[in-house]
Amino acid sequence: MSNFADSKEIVTKMYLSAESKKELFAKYSPAKNATDTGSAESQIALFTQRIIHLTSHLSTNKKDHATKQGLLKLVGKRRRLLNHLTEINIERYRSIIAQLNIRK
């Protein structure tokens, strides 16, 4: 019985809580609004946090191929959003790149 309770506790603990997501959206959205979850900047910031988390997971679990595939899909999604942002407004692209420190 305790084994099930332990596993349930692990599942309910998320690496990115709702409060931290709201802070992330408020910090990186162009409207500086915590409910602005659909803007490209907010999505790119969220994907970047997930990419950082998955990269640290893969550094300890090198044979986790499913996570590696998910990571590569996330990087592709972020790349497509960044490309979209360059087509729409290059200044917003440069701003989010500088804030997240993505490019070297």
Q: What CATH number does residue 59 fall under?
A: 1.10.287.10
Q: How many domains does the chain have?
A: 1
Task: Name 59's Cβ contacts closer than 8 Å, sequence gap at least 6.
Answer: none
Give kind and range of the element (H or E) at residue 89: none
- pLDDT-flagged residues of the chain (< 50): 1-2, 4-12
pLDDT of 36 reads 80
- Which residue range is the domain that position 38 belongs to? 19-100
Report the pLDDT value the prediction gives residue 30, as an integer from 0 to 100. 85
What is the pLDDT, as a whole number, of residue 33? 80
pLDDT confidence of residue 14: 63
The answer to the question of residue 1 being in a domain is no
Task: Report the predicted TM-score, pTM, of the whole model to 2 decimal places.
Answer: 0.81
Q: Count CB-CB contacts under 10 A for residue 87.
A: 8
Please report the pLDDT score of residue 13 as a whole number: 54
What pLDDT score does 93 carry? Answer: 94
Cα separation values, 79 from 11, 72, 102, Å: 29, 10, 11
